[in-house]
Amino acid sequence: MKNLRMKAARAGLDLSQEDLAIKCGVSRQTISAIEKGDYNPTINLCIAICRALGKTLDELFWEEK
């Protein structure tokens, strides 16, 4: 499932995928894969992304029905 909330939060802070990747200690390809729904990140990576974007786990990763 695509993570459009993460992509929107990143864009809202005017961060590129590369910028977010650097903040989280991963590759740009990892951020891209998460946004496209091709990669399910670890909880530690989810937390790092949330901190970098100033969001909660629920705001970025909770699946809505």
Cα 21 to chain center, whole Å? 9
User: Domain-by-domain residue ranges, the chain?
Assistant: 4-61
Tens digit of each residue's pLDDT (9 = 90 or more) over 10-55 = 999 999 999 999 999 999 999 999 999 999 999 999 999 999 999 9
Say what the pTM is: 0.92
CATH architecture of 4-61: Orthogonal Bundle (1.10)
CA atoms within 13 A on the CB side of 3: 25
What is the per-residue pLDDT for 63? 80
